[in-house]
Structure formats: structure tokens, C-alpha cells
Amino acid sequence: MTKAETWAAVHAERQALIDDLAVLDAAGWNTASLCPGWDIHDVLAHLVDSARTTRRGFMRGMLAARFDVDRANADGIRRA
């Protein structure tokens, strides 16, 4: 798969996710996800935060969280 094909697939999947989430009402965003302790809003916030981070930002976040992945994820959800 070429780089262009990869990014085309990424953009198509992002649009599919947007379409799926567009129908949610306020209660839907608070629905528990398959990730223990996370609702739909938390999962999306995690995806957004992960997509925005850089290698340097990831390392800064891990240092700030004292290399606790759960804490780093919670910090990212709060940011997003």
C-alpha cells in the first residue's frame, strides 16, 4: 500500500466514524464503551488526542504521567 493509499484509507475511516457519531444524542455520548471505565466521549477524546500528538509530545506526556499509561491516557482525555 502506498503512502497516498494509506492516507486515503485513514481519511475514509475517519469520515465513517464521524458519520457513526453524528447520530448520537447527549445520552449516547455518555454510553459505556467496550473500554472499561470509558464512555463514547472518552474514547473519541482519546482518538483525537492520539491523532494530534507528536513523538516529542508523547514522551512529554509519559514523563508527566511518570510513565503510567493509564494516567497519560486520562490526561489526554482531559485535554481533548
- Counting as low any pLDDT under 70, the low residues of the chain are none
Query: HEC states along 24-45?
Result: CCHHHHCCECCCCCCEHHHHHH
CB 31 within 8 A of CB 25: no
What pLDDT sits at residue 48?
92
What pLDDT sits at residue 12?
97
What pLDDT sits at residue 33?
95
As given in the structure block, the three cell numbers for residue 42 are 472518552
Closest CA to 70 of 58, 59, 62: 62
What pLDDT sits at residue 31?
95
Give the predicted TM-score (pTM) of the model: 0.79
What pLDDT sits at residue 67?
97
Q: What is the DSSP letter of 23?
A: T
What pLDDT sits at residue 58?
95
N-to-C CA span, the chain: 31
